[in-house]
Amino acid sequence: MLLSAWYQCVRGCPGRYDVFDVIYRCPACGGLLEVVHDAAALAERSSSEWRELFTGRARVGANTQYPIPASGVWSKWEWVLPQLRPENIVTLGEGFTPLLPAPRLASSLGLDDLWVKQCGVSHTGSFKDLGMTVLVSAVAQMMADGLNPVRAVACASTGDTSAALAAYAAAAGIPAIVFLPRGKISTAQLIQPIANAAHVLALDTDFDGCMRIVKEVTRDRSIYLANSMNSLRVEGQKTVGIEIAQQLGWQVPDWIVLPAGNLGNISALAKGLALAYELGVIDRLPRLAAAQAELANPLYQAYQTGFQRFEPVTAGATAASAIRIGDPVSYEKAVAALRQFDGVVEQASEDELADAAALADRAGLYACPHTGVALAVTAKLARRGVIEPGQRVVVISTAHGLKFTDFKVGYHEGALADVVARRRNPPVELPADAEAVRVELDQWLARAGHQLDERQQTTIQDRLGWRYEQV
Ligand SMILES: *Cc1c(COP(=O)(O)O)cnc(C)c1O
Ligand SMILES: [Zn+2]
């Protein structure tokens, strides 16, 4: 079995390009490229052989011959980038993230069968690690082979891409340059590339402005572009849907819902599932729901016209800062994905996303604002009957809540713009006095509906009295 993959224009222009070439767009029409795999070669393995192979690699330590047991992405390397030689892989243990059943959250959102794919439980705290391991590994191989004079990798970012790029580049010893919109990302996201020794340029513009600059800068082919316009990232990110099916025993959920900004991730999700379907590894496709913030909703607006018209917007100051994007690079790919997967697009307001995130937290999660957008949209679709009773829904949680402490603090201080923080839980300040504490706890438990009846109360008081006497 000789596997291979190459670049091709998504709009169907003829021509194939080497995946180790420095090329991001079709030279004929300017459209995005995508990595195409030799499907006939992949089909030489049967669907059950593929499932067995992937399942075996998921058992940590089960296969000592396999060189990269800790990476969910490289556990599927034949489907990702078969020409990448194992010695060039730059991994930080990405993928194999938990898929959690969320019954308490399901009932508060009005769903029957809800799961959360915890992509933020990852080295740099977001799903961007899935794609960055592939891109940086490919650059490491280009450098090792001396094919292209690459001096550095660069990206524009709303925070998570730059954190991932900086970490993987540092692990490989490759210089990284990141362009960030000044004052528009969280403190944690800003400090990550700084700590990982990237060259951080904070520009007085928004993400879309940074994107324009990085496109200019990377016309110098020795600075390699690491945004999701670069289709190598999509190849890593596409493993998420396959991994979800694998974790559900190769069963496909009815819906997968995810927050959508630059639209690389939804394109990637669809691409992975489509390949798994084509090779018979899964027996049907889920429906997809793209969730946008109302303040940054160009895809939602286009959806309202049946994708007849697309207008870039100026993205507003949503708390979901990683999807604050007005002119998404992968729009065409996303529309194709939504058509193929009978997809829908829905939006959430600041109040809705914050409330959904708070509800998730109250059920034991720690949701980032983007996951809040996806959860709010899931609840809306269920209320409208688009998601039907009994259907299984997987929501992709894209980042770790710990990266968005400002958002959490703002919520519980009641300080977020356009948000009525109904589930605030501020700390209670009291003197260090046992009686004052007891009174407060009684009131709190009573408010929460945990009053004791009279008999229970007497028993407890007796017991307390006994303990006080001992002291
Ligand atoms: C990048 C990112 C997204 C959006 O993904 P796109 O590929 O840009 O659509 C959503 N959530 C988080 C946390 C992200 O970092
Ligand atoms: Zn083309």
Q: Which atom of ligand 1 is nearest to the CA of 325?
A: 8
**Smallest Cα–Cα separation from 445: which of 464, 428, 462, 466?**
428
Question: Per residue in 402-445, pLDDT tens?
Answer: 999 999 999 999 999 999 999 999 999 999 999 999 999 999 99
Q: What is the pLDDT of residue 214?
A: 96
Q: Which atom of ligand 1 is nearest to the CA of 120?
A: 13
Indicate the domain borders of the chain. 99-125+234-412, 434-464
The CA-CA-CA angle for residues 67, 69, 71, to 5°, reads: 110
Q: What is the pLDDT of residue 118?
A: 98
The whole-angstrom distance between residue 178's C-alpha and the CA centroid of its chain comes to 19
The architecture in CATH of the region 99-125+234-412 reads 3-Layer(aba) Sandwich (3.40)
Ligand 1 center–CA 17 separation, angstroms: 27
Ligand 1 center–CA 86 separation, angstroms: 28
Q: What is the pLDDT of residue 66?
A: 54
Residue from 116, 126, 210, 271 to probe ligand 1 pocket by mutation (most atoms less than 8 Å from CB): 126
Tokens of 378: 């899931």
Confidence of residue 470 (pLDDT cuts 50, 70, 90): very low
Confidence of residue 254 (pLDDT cuts 50, 70, 90): very high
Residue with tokens 């080295």: 123
CB under 8 Å to 13, separation ≥6 — which residues? 26, 28, 29, 31
| CB atoms inside a 10 Å sphere around CB 439 | 12
Whether 124 shows a pLDDT value over 60: the answer reads: yes
Ligand nearest to the CA of 31: 2
Q: What is the pLDDT of residue 465?
A: 56
Q: Which atom of ligand 1 is nearest to the CA of 160?
A: 15
Question: Per residue in 167-187, pLDDT tens?
Answer: 999 999 999 999 999 988 888
Question: Per residue in 9-28, pLDDT tens?
Answer: 999 999 999 999 999 999 99
CA-to-CA separations, 466 to 442, 451, 463, 470, 471, in angstroms, rounded: 19, 22, 5, 7, 9
- Helices 160-172 and 128-145, packing angle to 10 deg: 40
Q: How far apart are the first and last CA of the chain?
A: 77
Give the residue with greater pLDDT, 188 vs 329: 329
Residue 30 falls in which region: left (phi positive, over 0), alpha (psi -120 to 50) or beta:
left
Ligand nearest to the CA of 12: 2
Confidence of residue 469 (pLDDT cuts 50, 70, 90): very low
Tokens of 388: 């039907």
Residue with tokens 């109360």: 457
| 398, burial (CB in 10 Å: exposed 0-12, middle 13-18, buried 19+) | buried
Q: What is the pLDDT of residue 457?
A: 73
Per the prediction, the chain carries an average pLDDT of: 93
Q: Which atom of ligand 1 is nearest to the CA of 264?
A: 7
The whole-angstrom distance between residue 431's C-alpha and the CA centroid of its chain comes to 43
**Smallest Cα–Cα separation from 261: which of 336, 312, 205?**
312
Question: Per residue in 299-353, pLDDT tens?
Answer: 999 999 999 999 999 999 999 999 999 999 999 999 999 999 999 999 999 999 9
Q: Which residues have C-beta atoms less than 6 Å from ligand 1? A: 126, 128, 160, 228, 259-265, 322-323, 368, 370, 398-399
Confidence of residue 57 (pLDDT cuts 50, 70, 90): confident
Residue with tokens 């400090």: 191
Rounded Cα distance, 178 and 226, in Å: 10
Ligand 2 center–CA 15 separation, angstroms: 9
